[in-house]
Structure 1
């Protein structure tokens, strides 16, 4: 429920009260003595979704934008007379006026926004280098990225260009700053006692997750954008949703900066692609949901401009997402192929050493199997070198495994060759096999 307070301009009292009577809304009126251009203050309760249509009728009755309108959210309203209003104005979304106010509140002052974003990036960068998921999530609580994302969509839907422009500028400028800050931190920490010498950041799990983006990343971003829009429209859970949006943006931005610091431009590029895809997906999902929820400009003549802006921006965002999704599709395919090849290699070697020829002679597969088949690495190189005609080059499957055998047993000279042939048939790929042997001892009882 909402409590609306409206200052009535001189000469408009009867027309305003007539609207409220027609809507069967209970109200209270006080004479206004503070300023000459207003003659009364009217206050009335109404469900959140009813604020917008009632205010539209009140504007027609003479309540201009120069008049003060205050919308309050009371803790509790007790009255059986409200049931009729709740049935008439059924729905869960807030009014356009509240939406604008919340969008403006969520986008803090520019200096505050950049200060919190820098602090979030510093914490997230430390979490990435420490491979600490808890630290990264903690950094996201600080990141103020939900406000600009929501502001950009709200401004577009209600034809508030200044609000939309500010949201876009804060998002783009903030993420570029995050990449720069992470790169500077990486350059300062690289080679110091704080990090192991010759550290390969690609071996850090939290960083590796951000350098292999796939379609699951796109779903995360779309879900975050929808959750952000719903939380604003329904007025619940905005803090937690802000964390989800920040998780989709700040860690990959910090990863991109670290890639620049280490001179690993493939890492910087793929993490940057992930940032851009997530940014576009969050904005397009929020934009579409706000429009489908019925939010429109207050002025009827501005609705057409807003519709054109929503359609054009949605089309641009969708096209950009589709183009970048080619990268996601290739990485997803590469990851699937890698997992499939590893599974095929392990299964075939286990079958091979369970056969009587090897099992009866005491040969065992130690379980230490190394499969080096990472088409994603080739993919990164192709992206950097801009060779779209070769989406995924063929790469030999490098297999290394260790075989244990009893002392005194003769090692067959052709294990590597046989394994090579079997694995080539099982995987359908070129294979290079390296076999190590260890003498196994076993006690008997």
Structure 2
């Protein structure tokens, strides 16, 4: 269940209440007249089944509440109520399968913005991966994958393509491309510095590395894994099961490939740099293709679900 808190300007409350009452899957409707101060208006609260929330939010936005009022949505961790149980039962589909497009757009907007924190995480992750490839240490590679924040911009690109949002697409691509470029430049400098201390060398980079050799040897499995990771990642975001994102992060070779390319550049190994760059692009493209296809499939599924629900309601009248 989700909790909605709405600030409705004077004169709009009846329309908001009618919208909530006519939505299958709502419960616990509360109206506090004149309770809001900034902006002024009435406070309307209710709980709604997750699977009915997206359609409800779309209808509320058509009223223009985001301009003159406010709409806030929160997850309910625990709800002990027969009314809530009935609302979830009446709502179409399953909550775990529902997509809240407004929430997804907002989340990807925040995660796909080029910030100092994002750059710091990506750069540190790439430097950790650089240590991993030079030492042929799989543990460091996995750790670097988990630290890397690059799935946020990738999800932003997928969401922007499905929702046809050029601004979100541009912001996500800037964060993705500029972020990796900055991280690789910093990692190249880091590699040279480590070489000055005698910790990195071209001999270490060129030796046999059975644990990390795959990073600069892309093959069809690289693209297949990227596709599967893109599907899993988008399902994790849309179903609010963020724990699965860790598994997604450590299944694709984006950060390690960027790190290996940076180290190879520092020591003039163009063959490894080219192979690592191919691995990086292959993984990024695979995730975007699969993530976008997953969102389109979910959009199609819920469109069919809502159409069946509308026909059912029409037949009962």
Q: TM-score range by the shorter chain?
A: 0.7 to 0.9
Question: What is the root-mean-square deviation in Å for CA atoms of aligned residues?
Answer: 2.5
Match of residue 234 from structure 1: 239
Match of residue 189 from structure 1: 194
- The alignment partner of 1:184 has SS state of helix
Tell me if the contact between 2:226 and 2:287 (Cα under 8 Å) persists in the aligned partners: yes
Is 1:96 paired with 2:101?
yes
How many equivalent residue pairs? Answer: 295
- The alignment partner of 2:46 has SS state of strand
Tell me if the contact between 2:130 and 2:256 (Cα under 8 Å) persists in the aligned partners: yes
Tell me if the contact between 1:31 and 1:39 (Cα under 8 Å) persists in the aligned partners: yes
1:89 deviation in Å? 3.1
Alpha-carbon displacement from aligned partner over 1:3-22 (angstroms, at most 9, x marks no partner): 11111122112222222222
2:44 pairs with 42, 45, 49, which one? 42
Tell me if the contact between 2:134 and 2:204 (Cα under 8 Å) persists in the aligned partners: no
Match of residue 22 from structure 1: 22
Q: Greater helix share, 1 or 2?
A: 2
1:149 to 1:45, Cα distance in 2 relative to 1, 3 A: same
1:223 to 1:65, Cα distance in 2 relative to 1, 3 A: farther
Partners in 1 of 2:20 and 2:196 — Cα distance?
71
Alignment of 1:36-435 (within 5 A): 38-61=40-63, 63-86=65-88, 87-91=90-94, 92-107=97-112, 110-190=115-195, 193-195=198-200, 198-236=203-241, 237-241=243-247, 243-244=249-250, 247-294=252-299
Partners in 2 of 1:128 and 1:156 — Cα distance?
34
Alpha-carbon displacement from aligned partner over 1:196-222 (angstroms, at most 9, x marks no partner): 784452522344212221111111111
- The alignment partner of 1:286 has SS state of helix
Tell me if the contact between 2:215 and 2:253 (Cα under 8 Å) persists in the aligned partners: no
1:156 to 1:204, Cα distance in 2 relative to 1, 3 A: same
1:260 to 1:207, Cα distance in 2 relative to 1, 3 A: farther
1:35 deviation in Å? 3.7
1:97 to 1:83, Cα distance in 2 relative to 1, 3 A: same
1:239 to 1:198, Cα distance in 2 relative to 1, 3 A: closer
- The alignment partner of 1:101 has SS state of helix
1:238 deviation in Å? 4.8
Specify every segment of 5 or more residues in structure 2 that has no aligned partner in the other structure, as ranges.
301-317
Tell me if the contact between 1:155 and 1:164 (Cα under 8 Å) persists in the aligned partners: yes
Alpha-carbon displacement from aligned partner over 1:4-45 (angstroms, at most 9, x marks no partner): 111112211222222222225331100134448643111111
Partners in 2 of 1:191 and 1:63 — Cα distance?
60
Partners in 1 of 2:139 and 2:83 — Cα distance?
50
Partners in 1 of 2:205 and 2:127 — Cα distance?
20
Partners in 2 of 1:291 and 1:66 — Cα distance?
32
Partners in 2 of 1:101 and 1:264 — Cα distance?
42
Pair member with larger Rg? 1
1:215 to 1:10, Cα distance in 2 relative to 1, 3 A: same
Q: TM-score, normalised by structure 2?
A: 0.84
Alpha-carbon displacement from aligned partner over 1:372-411 (angstroms, at most 9, x marks no partner): xxxxxxxxxxxxxxxxxxxxxxxxxxxxxxxxxxxxxxxx
Tell me if the contact between 2:7 and 2:39 (Cα under 8 Å) persists in the aligned partners: no
Specify every segment of 5 or more residues in structure 1 that has no aligned partner in the other structure, as ranges.
296-445
Match of residue 309 from structure 2: none
Tell me if the contact between 1:178 and 1:250 (Cα under 8 Å) persists in the aligned partners: no
Partners in 2 of 1:224 and 1:36 — Cα distance?
44
Tell me if the contact between 1:5 and 1:69 (Cα under 8 Å) persists in the aligned partners: yes
